[in-house]
């Protein structure tokens, strides 16, 4: 069975976290003591919706053209801590997919109320299989959420992929930091379908 994902279309859902390991590195705060309790969203960007049907078809069957997005978002700070995987339905189940990481550095920029530029740091990367399989990690202003060190590796394992809207997906995320810290977690969230392009 293959897996799917959406391109940055997120609707809020609840997070289910079942495991996280600690760190024996030099990070002054052990990863096992960090307070990252993200909101998890799993969204499907469906390209085959049909508003002209009677009734409108807003939850079409799964398709190879679907796009999926898994996002773990921290507290609503600016910038906000988040981890995101965007993927097409080409990834295998139960097999960790390594991320080809870019260098650590600025990944987003915003403008404060005072008109100054605010940079958020982190890393991006790609998963195997398709240029649309992407990874994003952004450091937020809450230093207690995730290890602030650069990443040495990251991976996504799809343990279960829903076949219907509202069905739960399960994903294992593993991130290794340069100071020896590890974020290793299984998250679960129901899939929400978003219509991207309508026909009919």
Q: Tokens 């230093």 belong to which residue?
A: 143
Q: Is the dihedral of CA 9, 14, 15, 16 positive or negative?
A: negative
Fill in the DSSP letter of residue 8. S
Fill in the DSSP letter of residue 38. -
Tokens at 95, concatenated: 């097999």
Rounded Cα distance, 94 and 185, in Å: 14
Q: What is the pLDDT along the chain (200 residues), one digit of tens a residue?
A: 333 333 323 333 334 444 343 333 345 555 656 778 999 999 998 877 766 665 666 677 788 888 999 999 999 988 899 999 999 988 999 999 999 999 999 988 776 677 777 788 999 999 998 778 999 999 988 888 998 899 999 999 999 999 888 999 999 999 999 999 999 999 999 999 888 654 44
Q: Tokens 């550095």 belong to which residue?
A: 105
Cα-based distances in Å from 151 to 29, 58, 133, 158, 197 = 16, 39, 18, 21, 36
- Closest to 12 (Cα-Cα) out of 42, 37, 35: 42
- Closest to 4 (Cα-Cα) out of 61, 47, 65, 58: 65
Rounded Cα distance, 38 and 50, in Å: 33
Rounded Cα distance, 169 and 69, in Å: 11
């Amino acid at each position: 069975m293959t897996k799917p994902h959406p391109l940055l279309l997120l609707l809020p859902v609840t997070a289910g976290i079942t495991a996280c390991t600690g760190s024996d590195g030099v990070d002054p705060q052990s990863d096992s003591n960090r307070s990252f309790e993200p909101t998890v969203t799993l969204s499907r960007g469906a390209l085959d919706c049909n508003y002209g049907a009677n009734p409108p078809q807003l939850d079409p069957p799964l398709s190879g053209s679907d796009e999926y997005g898994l996002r773990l978002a921290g507290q609503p700070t600016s910038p906000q801590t988040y981890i995101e995987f965007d993927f097409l339905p080409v990834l295998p189940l139960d097999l960790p997919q390594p991320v080809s990481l870019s260098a650590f550095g600025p990944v987003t920029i915003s403008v404060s109320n005072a008109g100054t530029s605010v940079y958020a740091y982190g890393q991006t990367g790609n998963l195997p299989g398709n240029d649309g399989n992407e990874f994003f990690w952004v450091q937020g202003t809450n230093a207690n959420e995730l290890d602030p060190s650069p990443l040495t590796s990251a991976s996504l394992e799809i343990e279960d992929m829903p076949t219907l809207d509202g069905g739960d997906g399960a994903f294992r995320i593993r991130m290794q930091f340069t100071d020896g810290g590890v974020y290793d977690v299984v998250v679960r969230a129901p899939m929400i379908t978003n219509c991207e392009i309508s026909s009919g």
